[in-house]
Amino acid sequence: MWETSKVSSAGAGSVVLVALSVLSAPALGGNEYDAVTLFMSAQPAFDIAQNRPGLELRRPAIGAINNQGQLTGTGDAGGNQLAQDTRPFFYDPSEATTANLGDVTGDFADPANNSRNGPSNGMDLNDAGWVVGVSSTTPGTGTTDDRPLLFFDQDANHANSPGEMHELNLNPGATLGKALRVNNANQVLIDGDTGLYRADISLTAGVVSEPSARSLVSATASFPDMNDSGEVSYISGNAGFVWRDLDGDDFADANEIAQIPFMDATITNSTVFGINNAGQVVGTMRNSQARDIGFIWTDIDGDNIVDWDDNNANGFFEANETSNEVLRFHGDHGGIGSTAGNTFVFDINDSGMAVGGYFDSSGRRAFVYDPLSGMRFLDDLIDVSFPLDLREADAINNLGQIAVVGRAPSTILDQLVLLTPLAAAINGDLDGDGFVGISDLNIVLGNWNQNVPPGGVLADPSGDGFVGIDDLNTVLGNWNTGVPPGSPPPGEALGNVPEPGSVVLLGVGLIGLRRRPRG
């Protein structure tokens, strides 16, 4: 129930109060995500015309989803999991199609061809739809023929048309390479036998150009991620690192590299899997029982150092020590609260929603974490009739869409599943009941003038962490959108739909009032 004092403190809500004083708190819960398996989605017309083999979408291998809902990862052209049948896929939601991107030599892994090239993979894509990955260029095994690829659907036919697949240059001194990440500043992370480099790429009218200079991130690295500021997280040896170019010289100075602390002196292992545009980093730390403990690090004081209370001053961040910068999952955190099992956090979006997998002796479960609701298993947030178990969540975008690995019970066949938040289906439908109305307005008012965790869809449709005029206008601007709960079946007359009345007038009148306090 909203409180009069909260709304009044906004200075502009007194009219709203009168109109809504009898409203009750909304009912929440039920399904939060629409789940769709993309395992065998349709091919684009172009691929069909070219007789290209379709791809089955098995585990996307830390694949990626962008803010258009496009996906990339690795598909299987043969259905029997042979290495030479794997090719990058490009899922485009505008036609719900999955394209076989082939490799840089134009080999699309036709199972009837006995000399098809080795495995190629899609690794990442940015919001413009640039796909990066690795292309094997010969039928041989091994990595010596690996080359970095860049694909862009220039003609918007959802498929790899002639001229759209590009081979990128290798790193300085390198004989092989793979493109692992791309950001919205057109930077690409390329790994090879001389290290992990950050490269600036331009793609104009189908032509790629690359400056010769690249920034060496690390001589050895795996599983890197990169945000739009060019900050890079990566694993090297048994430790996780973050490079932030604090002096902006495109050079990884020693003082710019943060190491994720180990949790224990006897089991020295920490990993990182992702970094978002707020600079938050996710991964795992390992404790003295060799359990992987997922974490989110937020560098609150901006010194690029993981700060914690090292009570015994031994340089290890042990389970009984605390930090206001590091959130750790289970054991010492009020999430699932298990005392066994391992938690891997694989990705985090820009509003701090993180996804990953919880693994123990009884199996694997995909989870989502958000600051409002904590850590929850995704199986519990979808329709109970969905036939697959959700085993691992690999990627999340800023719309809250999640790429998940699913598997039917008693099988070993991994399948790519896309989860889309139901609440986001209609802008302003905060409680996810498919209709924008009084209950949604009440959620905004109930949190009026409050700072809430960024991205908490329950009370902040604008996603900036503060509930105010923008959020009110989002609800009012979509008023009456959708189907009111309890409506008669189609064809029958609709009952009375509540109108916001004077609230609408107030909202319209306040659209120009954008200044907002922040906490």
- Residues lying near Ca ion in the complex (CB under 5 A): 153, 155, 157, 159, 161, 245, 247, 249, 251, 253, 299, 301, 303, 305, 307, 310, 312, 314, 316, 318
For Ca ion, give the closer residue by CB, 231 or 318.
318
With beta carbons less than 8 A apart as the criterion, state whether 270 and 263 touch.
yes
With beta carbons less than 8 A apart as the criterion, state whether 76 and 89 touch.
no
How far, rounded to the nearest angstrom, does the alpha carbon of residue 320 sit from its chain's CA centroid? Answer: 30
Cα within 13 Å of Cα(155), Cβ side: 10
Smallest distance from Ca ion to CB 266, Å:
13
Taking the C-alpha atoms of residue 271 and residue 368, their distance in angstroms, rounded to an integer, is: 19
Smallest distance from Ca ion to CB 262, Å:
10
For Ca ion, give the closer residue by CB, 22 or 313.
313
Smallest distance from Ca ion to CB 95, Å:
12
Q: CB-based contacts of 83: which residues, under 8 Å, 6+ apart?
A: 118, 119, 141
For Ca ion, give the closer residue by CB, 212 or 312.
312
Pairing outcome for strands 342-348 and 354-360: antiparallel
For Ca ion, give the closer residue by CB, 300 or 340.
300
Smallest distance from Ca ion to CB 228, Å:
17
Question: What type of residue is 283?
Answer: G
For Ca ion, give the closer residue by CB, 183 or 323.
323
Q: What tokens were used for 258?
A: 């943060």
Taking the C-alpha atoms of residue 123 and residue 115, their distance in angstroms, rounded to an integer, is: 24
Taking the C-alpha atoms of residue 349 and residue 58, their distance in angstroms, rounded to an integer, is: 23
Smallest distance from Ca ion to CB 244, Å:
9
For Ca ion, give the closer residue by CB, 301 or 492.
301
Taking the C-alpha atoms of residue 366 and residue 393, their distance in angstroms, rounded to an integer, is: 5
User: With left for phi above 0 and alpha for psi between -120 and 50, is residue 51 left, alpha or beta?
Assistant: left
Question: What type of residue is 73?
Answer: G
Pairing outcome for strands 414-421 and 33-37: antiparallel
Smallest distance from Ca ion to CB 130, Å:
13
Q: Per this entry, what is the length of the chain?
A: 519
| Farthest-apart Cα atoms in the chain, separation | 75
On the 0-12 / 13-18 / 19+ scale of CB atoms within 10 A, 507 is buried
Q: What tokens were used for 455?
A: 């991205």
Three-class SS state of 101: coil
Residue of this chain nearest to Ca ion (CB atom): 161
Smallest distance from Ca ion to CB 463, Å:
25
Smallest distance from Ca ion to CB 137, Å:
21
For Ca ion, give the closer residue by CB, 305 or 425.
305
Taking the C-alpha atoms of residue 38 and residue 41, their distance in angstroms, rounded to an integer, is: 5
For Ca ion, give the closer residue by CB, 253 or 499.
253
Smallest distance from Ca ion to CB 279, Å:
10
For Ca ion, give the closer residue by CB, 146 or 299.
299
The label of the residue with tokens 């640039």 reads 130
Alpha-carbon Rg for the chain in angstroms: 24
Specify the long-range contacts of residues 213-216, CB closer than 8 Å, at least 24 apart: 213/250, 214/171, 214/172, 214/190, 215/245, 215/250, 215/251, 215/252, 216/252
For Ca ion, give the closer residue by CB, 299 or 350.
299
Smallest distance from Ca ion to CB 324, Å:
9
Taking the C-alpha atoms of residue 165 and residue 157, their distance in angstroms, rounded to an integer, is: 14
Smallest distance from Ca ion to CB 49, Å:
12
For Ca ion, give the closer residue by CB, 47 or 394.
47
For Ca ion, give the closer residue by CB, 209 or 312.
312
Three-class SS state of 184: coil
Smallest distance from Ca ion to CB 304, Å:
7
